[in-house]
Chains A and B, each alone.
Chain A
Amino acid sequence: MGKGFKHSSTSENSCSGPRTSRVLYVRTDLLNRLQQPKYKAYSLKRMIQDFQSQTVNFKYTQGISDILLSGASRLLVVSNIDLKTNTPITKPSEFLKSSFRGFVLNINNDYRYMKTGYYVSLHAEILGNDVEPTTENAVDAYRPPIFLTRASKNGAPTMPFIVTDSVKQIIAEFAFPVVVFAVNPFSFNGFQTAKNRTALYRAVKSLSMNYRYAVCVQPLRGEIVSCKSFFGESPSEDGGIKEIAKKVYQTFRLPVCKLYIQRFDGKVYLCGLQPLKIDEITPLDVRLISKIVSRISGKGWFD
């Protein structure tokens, strides 16, 4: 904050709270922006509020400007998770109002279509930036049939699957037990397992919302385990699971997700993907993410 500008007199008049001499330091080019005609109409109070948020913004952007990723572009980390890293983090709501140019790393617990995580990637793309993950990948990863097709194309082991809304077709195709994933716009990408006909009817009825939408069915041979994946790194001990998490990350580049994996006969098969809930991310996970982000940005991290 070297190039400072003292703005104490106006802020004393308009700011609520303790009226001690509050000083806002603003970079000169931000001041120039405020000279623009579109800002003239702002009321003084509004201006001060914007000033304050700009000061915060400034603190972030200052650190990023000298980070170079892959030689050329600037890196911005947008995250709704509080990371313990020295890399400056922008909140999604702030980013959606900004017009940053450079590479955007979007860390969010949920990239589902029409959620904030998705709109962050969308905003970055509309500004013409490279972003991870892209909106295309964000949509595809949460659609079970596309997810399985693309992952297996990239070398991840998967079970065969069918998309249908007919129980008869499922019974004709696979032996019990089976695992049913929803392909509808509403559910939290849930799945149900069915060991017999009655259970299958119930599962299909509920996940297809009374047969309005389709479901994606795979045979269930072993047991389903879930594991978290952060940038393709999984806290799991199993080597096969680690390999799958890596493959999924290479395909879809979702920084944060939860994988469902079928373990059968000593082998592992990819089953499905879900967003993580915010309270599923433990302090240990935050440490892992922070470490990776620091590695990418070349800045340190703290505990």
Chain B
Amino acid sequence: MTRIACFVEKYNFAYSDEAEALETFRRTAQRMGHEFNFIFRNGLSEIPKYEAVFIRATTDPLYTAYVVSKTAWELGLKVVDDPVSIRICANKIHQYRLFEKYGVPHIPTVFLSKGEFHHRQIAEIFEIFGKPVVIKAPYTSFSKYVEKASCETSFREVAKRFFRRSDYIVVQKFMPSRFDWRVGVLNGEVLYVCKYMMPKGKWKHGVKRRGKPSFVWGRTVTLKRDNAPQRLKETALKACSIIGKGLYGVDIKEVNGDYVVVEVNDNPSIYKGQEDLRDKDIYEKIIKFLAE
């Protein structure tokens, strides 16, 4: 029997699909004979009582989730998402630099520093990538802080906002597509495969409606992992292999029959009836990995 702590925050229970998935995790663990408890940010002192920690709250080196991950790691517990994965995945610059180093096919990317942020540089970027370009803050998650710019004015406006928290930002070629592949990977094996469709007339999976606080999310179309294209799975596994052995969600775009990695996310979202629709055993596999 393994005592597993699942670190969550209040917002993890805000959507019923996500809350149900968390409940499924708990039931599955108990059925397999493990103890599975949710801990919140006030319960950090309880971490030494457990043998494994599973983080479901949004991870970033600057959030409490990283403190949890690092504390558990120092104590020698099994952690999903481990601190190294969080550091790499939460910083897109770190990630793309690794992709460049190890030759993982990825979207054409340049990095822009605060010091080089001037007219000539922007003009050069437009010359290389054409218009529009996609600007990403290194700390992007849930499609936030990813914006499109097709002229220098809007480029400056977006970049200025992103430079507030980071001294470097990411600029990428704009590659429109109907959907992004999402491949869930656990410990070097494909866990689930699905397509994140773009909402109608939009270019990314989650879009804020203009003038409204609400988000519009695209549909999720799930495939059986055995039926997914082999080359897609290979690309995803290659991208994960340079980051670590944990739970990742790889975003991949299909461009003219080629697969290019958009990004690797730690802490991929798992919602009831979406990611788990075709492969029902994903909960068991994750719990088994935690309990090993």
Contacts and interface: CB of A to CB of B under 8 A. Distances in A.
A145 B42 CA distance: 13
A85 interface: no
Contacts of B139: 114, 185
Interface in B49-68: 60-64, 66-67
Interface stretch (A54-62, A157-165, A235-243, A256-264): A157-165
Nearest to B139: A114
A136 B114 CA distance: 23
A143 B67 contact: yes
Interface residues on B, range: 20 to 34
A45 to B, nearest CB: 12
Interface string B59-90: 01111101100110010000000011001000
A113 B61 contact: yes
A119 B168 contact: yes
Contact of A214 (B41, B71, B114): B41
A119 B93 contact: yes
Interface in A140-155: 140, 143, 145-146, 149-150, 153
A115 B67 contact: no
A196 interface: no
B165 A114 contact: yes
Given A114-B165, A119-B167, A119-B168, A169 B42 contact: yes
Contacts of A149: 71, 74
Interface string B168-201: 1000000000000000000000000000000000
B97 A122 contact: yes
B87 A135 contact: yes
A68 B63 CA distance: 40
Contact of A145 (B44, B115, B167): B44
B115 A93 contact: yes
B74 A126 contact: no
Interface in B89-124: 91, 93-94, 97-98, 101, 113-115
A143 B66 contact: yes
A96 interface: yes
A244 B286 CA distance: 42
A126 B66 contact: no
Contact of A213 (B64, B93, B115, B166): B64
Contacts of A185: 60, 62-63, 139, 165
A214 B165 CA distance: 19
Contacts of A165: 41-42
A116 interface: yes
Interface residues of A, number: 32
Contacts of A146: 66-67, 70-71
A145 B91 contact: no
B83 to A, nearest CB: 8
Interface string A102-114: 0000000000011
A96 B167 CA distance: 12
A113 B62 contact: yes
A24 interface: no
A116 B60 contact: no
Contact of A163 (B67, B101, B113): B67
Contacts of B113: 93, 96, 116
Interface string A58-71: 00000000000000
A140 B62 CA distance: 10
A113 B137 CA distance: 13
Task: From A114, A135, A163, name the one whose CB has the most chain B CB atoms within 10 angstroms.
Answer: A114
A184 interface: yes
Contacts of B97: 122-123, 126
B93 A145 contact: no
A23 B84 CA distance: 49
B45 interface: yes
B98 A126 contact: yes
A114 B91 CA distance: 8
A145 B67 contact: yes
Nearest to A185: B62
A266 B265 CA distance: 49
B87 A184 contact: no
A139 interface: yes
Ranked nearest first, the 8 interchain pairs of A and B with the lowest CB-CB distance are: A185-B62, A114-B166, A116-B167, A214-B64, A164-B42, A163-B44, A126-B97, A214-B41
24 contacts: A93-B113, A93-B115, A114-B168, A119-B93, A119-B167, A126-B94, A126-B101, A135-B94, A136-B87, A139-B66, A140-B70, A143-B62, A145-B44, A146-B66, A149-B74, A150-B74, A164-B41, A164-B44, A165-B41, A169-B42, A185-B62, A185-B63, A214-B64, A214-B67
Interface of B: 41-42, 44-45, 60-64, 66-67, 70-71, 74, 83-84, 87, 91, 93-94, 97-98, 101, 113-115, 138-139, 165-168
